[in-house]
A and B are shown apart, each in its own frame.
Chain A
Amino acid sequence: MIIAEPKPIDEIIDSLKDFNRILVAGCDGCVTVCEAGGMKEVEVVASALRIYFKQAGRAVTVDEISLTRQCDRPYTAQLADKIDQYDAVLSLACGVGVQFLAEDYKNKPIFPGVNTCFMGGTEEKGLWTERCQGCGKCILANTGGICPIARCSKRMLNGPCGGSSDGRCEVNKDIACGWHLIYERLKELGQLDRFETPTDPKDWNTSRDGGPRKVIKEVSRL
């Protein structure tokens, strides 16, 4: 899923302080699972905003809603009959959702309520870690199912570097050395011979280096 974290409330207040009718819009997708922007977080942010405006002597409306997904037009369209009642929307969806709302409601300012971080999974309750950088050409088949692009700090394809120590990365002891993990896994799979063959330079054209990307599945198109 896409992992995000809530923006500090003071930063949110700073972007919304001049508005009088605000809609806080959550998303029931990824950001609900990573506890950054689902209905629960909408309630917290909206309540905090109302308290802020009240103590500031303001009569501001802060309503709450959460959409099934903000990255899908049938769901963003559900705001069509409501949006005119607001002069700003705080979206707690990932950066995709914020942009979809901005594209769909062109005359409405849409503010981000979360910082979108990465594609990852739930390691344990309250802890999410990165797994994929969306390079567009998956190499996991060759690396024991562990991605060196997402998990090596230097995205080396012929790692580990000389800074790996006790299975930890030179950048920070909290980071597992991705290549150490790959080594352990290949050993487990009896595929250590893969370590001896150099991996050629990667074609990054399918990564963000090729410019904004699109995926077309012809059979699914109307």
Chain B
Amino acid sequence: MSTTPLYSKLQKILAAGHFGVTSECGPPRSCDPKGVEEKARMIGDYVDAINVTDNQTAVVRQCSLASCIRIKQMGYDPVLQMVTRDRNRIALQSDLLGAGSFGINNILCLTGDHQSFGDHPNAANVFDLDSTQLVQTVKKMRDEGKLLSGFELKECPQMFIGAAENPFADPFEIRVSRLAKKVAAGAQFIQTQCIYNIPKFKQWMQGVVDRGLDEKVYIMAGMTPMKGVGMAKYMKNRVPGMDVPDDLIKRLSGVPKEKQAEEGIKICIEQIQELKEVKGVKGFHIMAIEWEEKVPEIVQQAGLYPRPKVD
């Protein structure tokens, strides 16, 4: 796939041809040091790397970098999520240098949800760069050893560079081209938006394979188990860019309320099994939102445990 050096455990596992498994943990909305630790301990041995969200949905939380350092110090491999909404290129590069100094070596470059969704809708936004340009920036720092200004770095961040892609957003026709663009910018792995509409995802994946992009970038399928029919309806109607088919809502509604969570996990596992067979899918990104305790079960039952060991 790529001839670049192997920077992180996640990259090594993917490069060795194993399915990669990542999950995420959202930091707490306080200074509590235990929140992230507990979540990381819960999932740490079941995944290859732990994403830490960066003020997701534009709600103020403990910063991603601090939480990544904490996770790194616990012996796990964090994926530093960075959005361009809140910081300009000065702050972003500064954080990347800081992350590099702690040996953090996975990054996920995002533009970020608009602040109007969050707890500070009257905030000014930044958007000095967009996600693609952040990918370019990290690549430049890593491969050329230079800041965007051209300043030469003595020590460069050693990052396995990731980006997100939503196969379900519109216009659908350009979703593959957009992936190609992110790959051209330097993205090495992709974590997708939560997948519920499997046929549509397969259609997108076919486009990715047809273009040979699956040979250039590791696609990790985004999975989020549904806790119940309420969550499914919320995701369908309220979350931008989410594609939740009616069949899934019907299936969840078909079981008693107290069994819906269990059914949600079952669906998630079935979908992982199905997606394992799809050409180009190289791993899974399991986003169990405020439900991290279910990650071990999903990973085990999906036949993704134990996780491979690499040096």
Stretch of A14-22, A48-56, A92-100, A153-161 with 4 or more beta carbons under 8 angstroms from chain B: A153-161
Give the size range of A's interface with the partner: 20 to 34
Residue tally, chain B, CB below 8 Å to A: 36
Nearest-CB residue, chain A, relative to B242: A165
A157 to B128 CA separation, bound complex (whole angstroms): 10
| B145 beta carbon closer than 8 Å to chain A | no
Give the residues in chain A near B165, CB-CB below 8 Å.
162
CA distance A155 to B129 in the complex (A): 9
Contact A180 B171 (CB under 8 A): yes
User: Chain B's nearest CB lies how many Å from the CB of A200?
Assistant: 7
Interface positions, chain B 126-182, Cβ under 8 Å from A, are 127-133, 136-137, 148, 164-166, 169-171, 174, 177-178, 180-182
CA distance A37 to B137 in the complex (A): 46
Tell me whether A138 is interfacial, beta carbon within 8 Å: no
Asked whether A164 and B170 contact (CB < 8 A) given A154-B85, A200-B133, the answer is: yes
C-alpha spacing A213/B201, complex, angstroms: 48
Interface residues of A: mostly helix, strand, loop or mixed? loop
| Chain A positions 194 through 217: 1 when the CB is less than 8 Å from some CB of chain B, otherwise 0 | 011111110010000000000000
Check B170–A201 contact: CB distance below 8 A. Answer: no
B92-119 vs A, Cβ < 8 Å mask (1 yes, 0 no): 0000000000000000000111101100
Say if the beta carbon of B241 comes within 8 Å of chain A.
yes
With A170-B113, A170-B114: A164-B129 Cβ-Cβ less than 8 Å: no
CA distance A100 to B241 in the complex (A): 46
In contact, A198 and B170 (Cβ under 8 angstroms)? no
A residues in contact with B180, CB < 8 Å = 196
A167 at the interface (CB under 8 A from B): yes
If A170-B113, A180-B170, A198-B136 touch, whether A159 touches B181 (CB-CB below 8 Å) is: no
CB-CB under 8 A for A154 and B240, given A164-B170, A167-B170:
no
Evaluate contact between B116 and A158: CB separation under 8 angstroms: no
> How many whole Å from B220's CB to the nearest CB in chain A?
15
Asked whether, in the complex, the Cβ of B241 is within 8 Å of the Cβ of A164, the reply is yes
A162-B165, A163-B169, A165-B170 are contacts. A195–B178 as well, Cβ < 8 Å?
yes
Are B130 and A196 within 8 A (Cβ)? no
The yes or no answer to A218 lying at the interface (CB within 8 A) is no
Q: Given contacts A154-B111, A162-B193, A180-B170, are A171 and B116 in contact (CB under 8 A)?
A: yes
- Tell me the minimal C-beta distance from B70 to chain A in angstroms: 28
Instruction: Tell yes or no: A174 within 8 A of B by CB.
Output: no
Q: State in angstroms the CA–CA spacing of A92 and B295 once bound together.
A: 61
Question: Is A183 among interface residues, defined by CB-CB distance under 8 A?
Answer: yes
Q: For B85, what are the chain A residues with a Cβ–Cβ distance below 8 Å? A: 154
Chain B nearest Cβ from A211, distance in angstroms? 15
Q: Kindly state whether residue B233 has any CB partner on chain A within 8 Å.
A: no
- Bound complex: CA A204 to CA B111 (Å): 18
B240 touches A170 (CB 8 A): yes
With A154-B125, A165-B241, A201-B148 as contacts: A195 and B181 at CB distance below 8 Å: yes
Taking the closest CB of chain B, its distance from the CB of A144, in whole angstroms, is 13
Give the distance in Å from the alpha carbon of A161 to the alpha carbon of B175 in the complex.
Answer: 10
B89 beta carbon closer than 8 Å to chain A: yes
Tell me if B184 counts as interface (CB < 8 A to partner A): yes
Q: A156's closest neighbor in chain B, by CB?
A: B130
Evaluate contact between B169 and A160: CB separation under 8 angstroms: yes
Partner among A163, A172, A183, A198 whose Cβ is within 8 Å of the Cβ of B171 = A183
A192 to B176, CA, bound (A): 12
How distant is B210 from chain A, measured CB to nearest CB, in Å? Answer: 15
B241 in contact with A170 (CB, 8 Å): yes
- Pick from A177, A184, A197: contact of B181, CB under 8 Å: A197
B137 to A, closest residue via Cβ: A201
Pick the contact of B185 from A154, A170, A177, A198 — CB < 8 Å?
A198
Return 7 A-B CB contacts under 8 Å, by A number: A156-B111, A160-B174, A192-B177, A198-B182, A198-B184, A198-B185, A201-B137
Which residues of B are interface residues toward A (Cβ below 8 A)? 85, 89, 111-114, 116-117, 125, 127-133, 136-137, 148, 164-166, 169-171, 174, 177-178, 180-182, 184-185, 193, 240-241
Instruction: Knowing that A154-B85, A165-B170 touch, tell me 14 more A-B residue pairs with CB under 8 angstroms.
Output: A154-B125, A155-B127, A158-B178, A160-B178, A161-B131, A161-B169, A163-B113, A163-B241, A165-B241, A177-B170, A198-B132, A198-B133, A199-B132, A201-B129
The 6 closest A-B pairs by CB, nearest first: A162-B166, A170-B240, A158-B132, A163-B240, A156-B130, A198-B185
